[in-house]
């Protein structure tokens, strides 16, 4: 057998794959131009908020967004409700920057509370967790009601913080859960959840469980009554290795 120009065609088949080890026919990875630093969107990112407007979002009941955009920053307007993306996503990489109010008010869950909900259902907590004690599974970067972050990497109130979230959506067949959701979260460059299996959708004072839902859902940001600020929000849709 002649050796192909790249790779091999006489090597073992990889398990659960249509490719051989070093298979020369295996598709090349798609080219993506990275941002100038890891916070900046790469070429294939969908920009959800770039400092200008909320055109990618809807407010309560699908109505207009009533949060404020000021000086390139999106600010929760307490009492106006959560906002969510018009576009829906499944497996994804999400980058989001946020800051708790510089003026410290309240304590525990009442200080700088917001949240990022993957698929509108699975919350990564946003909270001012800097010198602010609350239940561990509700602090900054917790998978709310399920898992505390591995460490508290919170910056001071008013300072910008980053979440980089890597999410694998759950799979359902009819009413049945085929595979659970998994999430990895990096907070300010620090790994705080490493491929954690979610117990179900986020709730308060209840044991989480899965309820069947479509394969894609919105990114939702929470109005929890605090004027938390956001900037530089982008997302990449992830496809399977063999697609
Ligand atoms: Mg919250």
Average pLDDT, stretch 38-63? 97
pLDDT tens-digit series, residues 154-203: 999 999 999 999 999 999 999 999 999 999 999 999 999 999 999 999 99
pLDDT of residue 223: 98
- Expressed in angstroms and rounded, the spacing between residue 21 Cα and the centre of ligand 1 is 45
Average pLDDT, stretch 119-131? 98
Measured distance CA(150)–CA(131) in Å, rounded: 17
- Expressed in angstroms and rounded, the spacing between residue 223 Cα and the centre of ligand 1 is 8
Average pLDDT, stretch 131-136? 98
Measured distance CA(172)–CA(179) in Å, rounded: 7
- Expressed in angstroms and rounded, the spacing between residue 115 Cα and the centre of ligand 1 is 4
pLDDT tens-digit series, residues 137-162: 999 999 999 999 999 999 999 999 99
The rounded radius of gyration (Å) of the Cα atoms in the chain is 20
Average pLDDT, stretch 111-133? 98
Q: Inform me whether the pLDDT recorded for 241 exceeds 70.
A: no
- Expressed in angstroms and rounded, the spacing between residue 22 Cα and the centre of ligand 1 is 46
pLDDT band at 114 (very low <50, low <70, confident <90, very high): very high
- Expressed in angstroms and rounded, the spacing between residue 194 Cα and the centre of ligand 1 is 20
Measured distance CA(81)–CA(222) in Å, rounded: 7
> Shortest CA distance to 44 belongs to which of 26, 29, 55, 58?
29
- Expressed in angstroms and rounded, the spacing between residue 224 Cα and the centre of ligand 1 is 6
- The string over 69-83, giving b where at least 16 C-beta atoms fall within 10 Å of a residue's C-beta and e elsewhere, is beeebbbbeeebbbb
Average pLDDT, stretch 12-30? 95
pLDDT of residue 4: 82
- Expressed in angstroms and rounded, the spacing between residue 48 Cα and the centre of ligand 1 is 20
Q: Model-level pTM? A: 0.94
Average pLDDT, the chain: 96
Say what percent of the chain tops pLDDT 70: 98
Q: Inform me whether the pLDDT recorded for 3 exceeds 80.
A: no
Average pLDDT, stretch 66-87? 98
Is the distance from CB of 83 to CB of 54 less than 8 angstroms?
Answer: yes
Q: Which residues, other chains included, contact 203 with Cβ-Cβ below 8 Å and sequence gap of 6+?
A: 145
Average pLDDT, stretch 4-18? 94
- Expressed in angstroms and rounded, the spacing between residue 44 Cα and the centre of ligand 1 is 29
pLDDT of residue 243: 47
């Amino acid at each position: 057998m002649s050796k192909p120009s790249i790779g091999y065609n006489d090597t073992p088949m990889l398990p659960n794959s249509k490719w051989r080890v070093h298979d020369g026919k295996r598709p090349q990875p798609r080219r993506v131009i990275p941002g100038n630093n890891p916070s900046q969107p790469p070429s294939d990112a969908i920009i959800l908020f770039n400092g200008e407007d909320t055109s990618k979002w809807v407010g309560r009941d699908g109505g207009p967004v009533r949060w404020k955009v000021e000086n390139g920053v999106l600010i929760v307007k307490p009492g106006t409700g959560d906002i969510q993306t018009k576009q829906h996503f499944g497996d994804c990489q999400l980058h989001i920057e946020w800051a708790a109010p510089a003026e410290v008010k309240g304590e525990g869950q009442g200080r700088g509370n917001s949240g990022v909900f993957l698929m509108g259902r699975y919350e990564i907590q946003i909270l001012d967790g800097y010198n602010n004690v609350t239940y561990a599974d509700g602090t900054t970067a917790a998978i709310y009601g399920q898992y505390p972050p591995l460490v508290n990497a919170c910056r001071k109130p008013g300072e910008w913080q980053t979440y980089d979230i890597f999410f694998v959506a759950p799979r359902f067949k009819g009413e049945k859960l085929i595979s659970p959701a998994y999430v990895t979260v990096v907070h300010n460059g620090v790994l705080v959840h490493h491929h954690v299996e979610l117990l179900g959708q986020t709730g308060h004072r209840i044991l989480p469980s899965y309820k069947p839902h479509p394969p894609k859902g919105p990114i939702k940001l929470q109005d929890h009554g605090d004027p938390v600020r956001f900037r530089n929000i982008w997302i990449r849709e992830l496809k399977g290795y063999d697609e």
